[in-house]
């Protein structure tokens, strides 16, 4: 079983990792694909063409170029950027160019302020923390002012990079997380992870019984028992 890879255009691993993850968010991919036949060349049209190729070569070893799509984002995205910033830029530009706010709903956190929403939450994980459980719970407290959580929970995990011990400090990522809001209890399943190591972003996607590692042009099934270091 194979998954198409995405060509690294020099320093575009941050874009590739995000696009691979978003491809496997079914609602997002389906909304994007509705714009494959658009006449005007926009970010959503460019992304639809990439996803069309990924669907066509879904079970083959194949590499797809994202250069035209990255051009629609801006020249700076051919240079190294933070994957979280890239994610927010992609969701924003695709939603705007599609003129369809529903595309972003999958990722939106709604606050107590009307018409105020955002796509990503940053969680600081201190040294010695066992996992991200406490951060998830804290995110949904009254102090956070979040009253509606997204279907797809995008979390930007922050570490204290100024402390050299962070490179030896690991924490657990569980299969499921339970969180509480005023309207009930929610259980989230880990869908994917974007890991950053030595200046490079790599995506891991949960495909049910197996995990795939998506490293630009290289994609493969993660062997059973492999522990992924998370920094």
What does the pLDDT read at residue 229? 47
Residues 156 and 167 in one domain: yes
Query: What is the pLDDT confidence band of residue 184, given thresholds at 50, 70 and 90?
Result: low
Q: What average pLDDT does the chain have?
A: 83
Does 73 share its domain with 97?
Answer: yes
- Cβ atoms 112, 120 nearer than 8 A: no
Containing domain of residue 156, as a range?
110-189
Question: Using the 8-state DSSP alphabet, how is residue 59 labeled?
Answer: T
CB 172 within 8 A of CB 212: no
- What percent of the chain is modeled with pLDDT above 90? 45
- In this structure, are 75 and 43 located in the same domain? yes
Tell me the torsion sign for CA atoms 54, 26, 196, 111.
positive
Residue 184 burial by CB count (10 A; 0-12/13-18/19+): exposed, middle or buried?
Answer: exposed
Q: What is the CATH number of the domain that holds 11?
A: 3.90.70.10
Distance between CA atoms of residues 133 and 140, nearest Å:
11
For residue 230, tell me if it sits in a domain.
no
Domain match, 103 and 214 both: yes
- Count of CB atoms within 10 A of residue 168's CB? 9
| DSSP label of 210 | E
DSSP 222: P
pLDDT at 165: 80
pLDDT for residue 6 is more than 50: yes
pTM as predicted: 0.86
Asked, for residue 127, whether it belongs to a domain, the answer is yes
């Amino acid at each position: 079983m194979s998954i198409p890879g995405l060509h690294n255009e020099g320093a575009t691993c941050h874009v590739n990792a995000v696009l691979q993850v978003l491809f496997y968010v079914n609602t997002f991919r389906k909304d994007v694909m509705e714009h494959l036949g658009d006449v005007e060349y926009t970010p959503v049209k460019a992304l639809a063409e990439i996803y069309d190729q990924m669907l066509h070569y879904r079970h083959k070893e194949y590499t797809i170029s994202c250069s035209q799509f990255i051009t629609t984002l801006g020249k700076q995205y051919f240079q190294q950027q933070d994957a979280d910033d890239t994610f927010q830029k992609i969701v924003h530009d695709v939603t705007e160019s599609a003129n369809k706010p529903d595309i972003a709903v999958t990722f939106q956190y709604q606050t107590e302020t009307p018409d105020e929403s955002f796509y990503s939450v940053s969680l600081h994980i201190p040294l010695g923390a066992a996992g991200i459980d406490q951060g998830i719970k804290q995110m949904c407290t009254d102090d956070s002012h979040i009253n509606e959580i997204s279907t797809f929970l995008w979390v930007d995990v922050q570490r204290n990079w100024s402390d050299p011990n962070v490179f030896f400090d690991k924490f657990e990522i569980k299969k499921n997380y339970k969180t509480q809001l005023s309207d009930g209890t929610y259980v989230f399943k880990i869908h994917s992870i974007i890991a950053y190591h030595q200046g490079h972003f790599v995506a891991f996607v949960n495909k049910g019984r197996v995990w795939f590692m998506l490293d630009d042009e290289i994609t493969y099934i993660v062997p059973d028992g492999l522990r992924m270091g998370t920094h």
